[in-house]
Amino acid sequence: MIQLFTPWLLVALPFPLLIYWLAPAKLNANQSALRVPFLGDFAQNEIIKIHSPNRTRLYLAALAWTLLVFASARPQWLGEPIEQAMSGRDLMLAVDLSASMQEQDFILNKQAVDRLTAIKAIATEFINRRVGDRLGLILFGTQAYLQTPLTFDRKTVATLLNESAIGLAGDNTAIGDAIGLAVKRLRNESQNSRVLILLTDGANTAGEVSPLKAAELAAANHLKIYTIGIGADEMLVGGFFGYRKVNPSADIDEGTLIKIAESTGGYYYRAKSLDELNNIYMRLDELEPVEKEKQYFRPKRELYFIPLAMALALAGLLSWKRNFS
């Protein structure tokens, strides 16, 4: 259907008639100020004939004005109502980009990959499932950066996550600053919908705010934090005397990550493999379900340019006829 965005502007339609009726008549500039006492001195064929106004031009001008007013009222085409699932949840992802994330202790498609590559593979699917949520992305290393503010554009969030690189934010790990940045970006949102998912493979080694102090601030601002420790428990490393088993995740400060989650009403998870990481994200889908209510919106398409173009074409035609006829 077609609707007018500003229908009250249609009151301008009779303005030309009101001006014609109410404005004082303009004197003809060609009228002579000389009085001629003897009209007989002039030949009859020299008398100026007054022509009546051209009705066609009058009708075209009226049509042009009508189209112009109709265009100013902004006609719009309204499509059929489209259902949109809305959860009202604001969910922020905080991903560690420190140097330790380059440890290749995850297996993807039968190949060893670094921890960030594993996160990208699983988190991208998680992002695509969050239809109706507003998502944001924080990348942190030595410093924490807001890569994507809260948005419904899940494709952009996934793209920027996949474009991130290890060391982009520095080689150290500022867990406290990442939490503090999330609190700052979410504090003005609905209290029942603030969620932070923090993924790291180490301990806090940088930043201005301690992780536990940042967790207290998060709890005071009703921000629920789910912490995920990334890294395998053991892996084989080749050496001069052959292969030996090492623990590549010895630096993970699980105690602090557990306290962060518990103090904010969240949970701590340990992801030792790609399957475990995927199961964690599935669990998060259950804990923070997407759909709460359904909203409807009708797509709009502006149509004002059609009557506007017709009005300008008629105005151009009238101008041409006036100058060349």
CATH code of 100's domain: 3.40.50.410
pLDDT at 39 over 50: no
Three-class secondary structure assignment of 151-216: ECCHHHHHHHHHCCCCCCCCCCCCHHHHHHHHHHHHCCCCHHHEEEEEEECCCCCCCCCCHHHHHH
**Mean pLDDT of the region 20-43:** 56
Better-predicted residue by pLDDT, 69 or 53: 69
Q: What angle separates helix 175-186 from helix 211-220, to the nearest 10 degrees?
A: 20
> CA-CA distances (angstroms) from residue 24 to 81, 86, 114?
52, 61, 85
**Mean pLDDT of the region 243-249:** 64
Question: Domain for residue 92, yes or no?
Answer: yes
15: region left, alpha or beta (phi > 0 left; psi from -120 to 50 alpha): alpha
Question: Domain for residue 136, yes or no?
Answer: yes
Give the pLDDT score at 26: 59
d(CA 289, CA 273) in angstroms, rounded, equals: 24
15 and 63 share one domain = yes
Question: Domain for residue 34, yes or no?
Answer: no
Question: Domain for residue 32, yes or no?
Answer: no
303 and 267 share one domain = no
**Mean pLDDT of the region 262-279:** 91
List Cβ neighbours of 267 (8 Å cut-off, separation of 6 or more).
Answer: 226, 227, 261, 287
46 and 169 share one domain = no
Range of the domain at 59: 2-26+42-80+298-324
277 and 237 share one domain = yes
Question: Domain for residue 129, yes or no?
Answer: yes
Three-state secondary-structure class, residue 264: coil
List Cβ neighbours of 234 (8 Å cut-off, separation of 6 or more).
Answer: 245, 246, 247, 248
Percent residues over pLDDT 90 in the chain: 35
121 and 173 share one domain = yes
166 and 152 share one domain = yes
142 and 116 share one domain = yes
Query: pTM of whole model > 0.75?
Result: no
d(CA 209, CA 135) in angstroms, rounded, equals: 24
pLDDT digits (tens, 9 = 90+) for 147-205: 999 998 999 999 999 999 999 999 999 999 999 999 999 888 766 678 999 999 888 99
229 and 305 share one domain = no
Question: Domain for residue 270, yes or no?
Answer: yes
**Mean pLDDT of the region 207-223:** 93
108 and 187 share one domain = yes
190 and 314 share one domain = no
150 and 117 share one domain = yes
Give the least confident one: 8-22, 63-77, 131-145: 8-22
Question: Domain for residue 102, yes or no?
Answer: yes
pLDDT digits (tens, 9 = 90+) for 63-93: 889 999 999 988 888 877 765 555 567 899 9
Question: Domain for residue 36, yes or no?
Answer: no
Q: How many domains does the chain have?
A: 2
221 and 310 share one domain = no
Averaged confidence pLDDT in the chain: 82
